[in-house]
Amino acid sequence: MEKKHIIRLVAMGVVVLALAALLGGFTGGGSLMYHLKNRGDLGPLTREDIAYLNVEAPAATSKDGTVNAQDWAAVYPYITMTMGDNAKNSYVTDYLEEDPYLVNIYEGYGFAKDYGSARGHEYTLADVHKTQRPHPKANCLTCKTPNFAKLVNDQGVGVYSMPFEEVEALMEENISCYTCHANEAGNGGALVVTHSYVNKALGDNVNAIDPATLSCGQCHIEYHFTREDSETMMPYHSVEEMTPEAILAYYDAIDFYDWEQEATGTKMLKAQHPEMETFLQGKHAALLNCADCHMPMEMADDGTVYHSHTLVSPLESETLLQNCATCHGDTDMVKVVRGIQERVTKRETEVGNKLSDFKDALADAVASGSRSETELERLRRLHREAQWYFDYCYVENSEGAHNSELSMRCLDTSEQKIDEAMELLAM
Ligand code: HEC
Ligand code: HEC
Ligand code: HEC
Ligand code: HEC
């Protein structure tokens, strides 16, 4: 494996408790009182309650040598079982039906034909197989299965541009143990980056990111496919560059666009799902990792303490809500987050519809031939940017929960660009 990156887990329980004491006051106080009442003297489960195992990896039964979930089941029954429970998250929202303006703004691109919400990790191969969006190359398998990561690690980046069907036939598992642990899960549950582009893009700067965030950040990120060899690649080299402004500048510098829209002639960008970037610019970045809010710690009847590998919304888990309480006290966090999401979603609808009207006005201007090429270029520039900022917020799956300031800033910036362009069009 190229530049294999093994990172040992650090127990954070002490840190969280210290922070709880520090932050006790900011939501009205009483937070420590709250959790002591709830959990007795022990407080919530922490990583210190886990008995980390050091065992040899079982023999791999997969053809490519990845130790799969079934292979690990005897060693880690609860983790394997809870990972399988991601199948329970099977609900899909049709975004195109919910927000009809999307069909217009994505015109000419695959997302205008088929765009449903994500569901659990157990569906990745089935979903990539049946999407109506075109996927000629194998690079679409990057974030779906450990077998693809293994193939790249074994054979190099040439794999990305192989025909989709040919490589799909070799894939055996949905996202699984190897994705986040390589074959090292027996090594105290070590987290390993198996997606080689992460190390390539970030170099030594990977060390600035908590392993339990980076683990998810192998996929829950903005990316593009390189022109040279269609390799999946992150558009930055450090955490500081993980902002919509810096990423836009990165794409501009390499003259990158996802598609040229026919009606407007704009060279468009399609944002993906910048969860890690959005989270890392937010208020929790230095305090928490993805696992803290999406993988509740549980205790089995036999006393085994482990991270549930069913990735849930913290708002739907009593255990995770108790973690919030260690800092937020008895504030109703479900209400706070739903309030943020409502505001963000309302703004998305407003700005999305304005963007759709602007796209129509620009298409008319192009069709009428009444504008100079210089004027059109200026308008297309504003169009590219307005859509980028809108999309960066729209496609981020937390709807503002990870970083409400950033989500709102993106929508405001998008609207400013639209207004500027509409003024030009009115002249
Ligand atoms: C190998 C790539 C990959 C990694 C690593 C990964 N995810 Fe995912 N995740 C996906 C994909 C792809 C989907 C969408 C699956 C589908 O709809 O078929 C998804 C879906 C999800 C969903 C469900 C979203 C919804 O709207 O229901 C959650 C929650 C989630 N991931 C959280 C996480 C967390 C937390 C981590 C880290 C512990 C993580 N993921 C690591 C690729 C990944
Ligand atoms: C402070 C807690 C917190 C942290 C840390 C956090 N999230 Fe979230 N995340 C949330 C909340 C709250 C939601 C909204 C859940 C809802 O709408 O029910 C959410 C939603 C999501 C969703 C949409 C799926 C869903 O269940 O609605 C994904 C995917 C996701 N987060 C991934 C990540 C990833 C990846 C990281 C790390 C880079 C991360 N989260 C870090 C709190 C957190
Ligand atoms: C999407 C990424 C992901 C996948 C897939 C995954 N893990 Fe984990 N695993 C994590 C994260 C994140 C942690 C928590 C690390 C932390 O913050 O302490 C973890 C923790 C662990 C631990 C340490 C003990 C604990 O409960 O914290 C073990 C052991 C482990 N995983 C085994 C497995 C096995 C076996 C599989 C396959 C059945 C698997 N994991 C699949 C991300 C993953
Ligand atoms: C380790 C302490 C800690 C934990 C645990 C914690 N938070 Fe926070 N949270 C903070 C701090 C600090 C802020 C920033 C407060 C401020 O600036 O006013 C914050 C801010 C927030 C905000 C506002 C951020 C924004 O972008 O608008 C939300 C929403 C939030 N937390 C939700 C949660 C949820 C939900 C959980 C549990 C799943 C949680 N927090 C757990 C410390 C924590």
- State residue 110's pLDDT score: 84
Residue 320 CA: which ligand 4 atom is closest? 38
- Which residue's CA is the closest to the ligand 2 atom numbered 3? 293
**pLDDT (0 to 100) of residue 273:** 96
> Which atom of ligand 1 sits closest to the CA of residue 195?
1
Q: What distance separates the 2 farthest-apart alpha carbons in the chain?
A: 76
> CB-based burial of residue 416 (10 Å sphere; 0-12 exposed, 13-18 middle, 19+ buried)?
middle
> Mind listing the pLDDT tens digit for each residue in 29-59?
333 333 333 445 567 899 999 999 999 999 9
For residues 42-81, one letter each, b for 16 or more C-beta atoms within 10 angstroms of the residue's C-beta and e for the rest, the string is ebbbbbebbeeeeeebbeeebebebbbbebbbebbebbbe
Q: What is the reported pLDDT for 130?
A: 82
Neighbour-count burial of 265, counting CB atoms closer than 10 A to its CB (0-12 exposed, 13-18 middle, 19+ buried): middle
Structure tokens at 174: 């949905």
Atom 35, ligand 4: residue with shortest CA distance: 333
Ligand 4 in contact with 408 (CB < 6 A)? Answer: no
Ligand 4 pocket, residue 96 CB under 6 Å: no
Residue 274 sits at the vertex; the CA angle it makes with 273 and 278, to the nearest 5 degrees, is 145
Report pLDDT digits (tens) over 231-267.
Answer: 999 999 999 999 999 999 999 999 999 999 999 999 9
Give the ligand at the shortest distance from the Cα of 273: 2
Quote the ligand 4 centre to 283 CA distance (angstroms). 7
Percentage of the chain modeled with pLDDT above 90: 82
Percent of the chain with pLDDT over 70: 90
In this predicted structure, which of 119-128, 203-212, 383-392 has the lowest mean pLDDT?
Answer: 119-128
Question: Which amino acid residue places its CA nearest to atom 17 of ligand 2?
Answer: 398
Candidates 204, 149, 198, 144; CA nearest to 174 is: 144
Which of 412, 267, 266, 422 is CA-nearest to residue 358?
422
Q: Please identify, by atom number, the ligand 1 atom nearest to the C-alpha of residue 180.
A: 5
Tell me the whole-structure pTM to 2 decimals: 0.92
Tokens in use for 334?
């479900």
Q: Which residues' Cβ are closer than 6 Å to ligand 3?
A: 9, 47, 50, 69, 72, 76, 79-80, 83, 175-177, 179-181, 185, 189, 191, 212, 215, 289, 291, 306-307, 309
Give the closest residue to 200 by CA, choosing from 228, 165, 178. Answer: 228
Give yes or no for residue 131 having a pLDDT over 90: no
- Cα dihedral 421, 223, 247, 212, rounded to 10, equals 130
Q: Is 307 touching ligand 1 by the criterion CB < 6 Å?
A: no
Per residue in 399-415, pLDDT (tens digit) is 999 999 999 999 999 99
344 lines ligand 4 (CB under 6 A): no
Amino acid at 273: H
Ligand 1 atom 43: residue of nearest CA: 219
